[in-house]
Structure 1
């Protein structure tokens, strides 16, 4: 059953995308950054087909998915008609899904261990596709969360590049929900800088403006675009 909110008071997906893009642009202007330097990744996990079509109708072409199988259901048939589509894996990846992930995604943001780097390299050799890679850093050292520990990040970046030949272009993090995100964003930026990495995927619906102020190049936004999962959204 859907929530009882009258549809007339629920913002459309079109309106939500417009509002988030405006906030991104305004934040960039405040910190003297070019708004084009921040890419909006729309987190499309769990979304129905009509929501995806509504997002595409706004011109959105960069989407983040958490699971390989769900992403295949969302995008496998749409890809042929969308040559400018970019799919980014933003959820944890098991090594036995490496081939499927490499076949579908353009960017894998969740490399967090050398075993996975090896599996991705083998999958790329097998498929002939070479997605770019981000290393996920567990900046809060949370035991329940994926990501390499900060102290081990440099070694993993080096191994991914030099041993396994992956195209590592940046870092990703998810700060602890109960802590201010700014120190975590700063830490990620420092790790990136000393490893010569230019891409920082950080910031979600509740903190993407803070992430932009800390140098994010990609922000991963879901509920601010599509609404909470129990809230019915008008497609347009």
Structure 2
């Protein structure tokens, strides 16, 4: 396991570098979020030993089970919550995460504000935009995005670092990536999280600063 994860990370990092250079960008502009959801703690540790320090988890409870011990061993480990966040998980998310990428509704903003006041800590935040307006997906609808960004900036200030999206699977992702970059630029937000295993090079072409890659690093997702 350790060798294959190390080799996969090396391959992905090389592809990130190549995509950046092909688009006149510095590879230092793009960070890899290794998506470890449903994979065991041993897989995360193999990636850590290979030099990876930034990870993404969908579920707060799974992150809580896997990462505290790893953070003790690797103090520079960074954890992002990248899945839809329930309001009743806000306290634990604020406690464990360095960034929450999925702020997408006023009720969650309320819960995160209360949680941060309770524990004295608020992670960096990205606003997730439902660029395809898909009813089954998390994310603030496109028509509400600008108002929600403005209100979130007024509430959380510099803790709002940028935007995140997951384009519809059956559509060309480029228009979605282009829209998210334009929205981030309009609001002076530096972080753009978009692109996954199948399309991260296109996301880099369109301006991604974070790409979220799971299966191409850790292999197929184990049964949950």
Q: Do both share a fold (TM > 0.5)?
A: yes
Correspondence for 1:104: 96
> Which of 104, 112, 117 is the equivalent residue of 1:120?
112
Q: What corresponds to 2:127 in structure 1?
A: 135
Contact kept? 1:186, 1:214, Cα under 8 Å = yes
- Residue pair 1:160, 1:166 contacting (<8 A) in 2 also: no
CA shift, 1:51, in A, is: 1.0
Within the candidate set 17, 35, 51, 1:59 is matched to 51
What SS does the aligned partner of 1:109 have? strand
Q: Secondary structure in 2 aligned to 1:78? A: helix
> For residues 52-201 of structure 1, what are the structure 2 equivalents within 5 Å?
52-165=44-157, 167-201=159-193
The higher radius of gyration belongs to 1
Matching residue of 2:5? 13
Report the alpha carbon displacement of residue 166 of structure 1 after superposing the two structures with TM: 6.6
CA distance in structure 1 between the aligned counterparts of 2:222 and 2:104, rounded to whole angstroms: 32
Shift of 1:49: 2.1
Counterpart in 2 of 1:22?
Answer: 14
Aligned counterparts of 1:119 and 1:53: Cα–Cα separation in 2: 32
Q: CA RMSD in A?
A: 1.5
CA distance in 2, matches of 1:165, 1:208: 29
CA gap of 1:192–1:150, structure 2 versus 1, over 3 A, is same
Q: Is the 8 A contact 1:45 1:65 kept in 2?
A: yes
User: Normalising by structure 2, what TM-score?
Assistant: 0.95
Aligned positions, number: 222
Alpha-carbon contact 2:128-2:139 (below 8 Å) kept: yes
Greater RCO, 1 or 2 (C-alpha within 8 Å, sep 6+): 1
Q: Is the 8 A contact 1:108 1:131 kept in 2?
A: yes
CA drift at 1:81 = 2.2
Structure 1 SS opposite 2:108: helix
User: What is the distance in 1 between the residues matched to 2:222 and 2:109?
Assistant: 37
- TM-score normalised by structure 1 residue count: 0.91
Mapping 1:16-55, distance limit 5 Å: 16-55=8-47
Q: Normalized per residue, which structure has more helix? A: 2
For the structure 1 residues 125 and 26, does the alpha-carbon distance in structure 2 shift closer, same or farther, using more than 3 Å as the test? same
5+ long unaligned stretches in structure 1: 1-6, 232-236
Q: Which runs of 4+ in 1 moved over 3 A?
A: 163-166
Greater mean deviation of Cα atoms: 222-231 or 177-186? 222-231
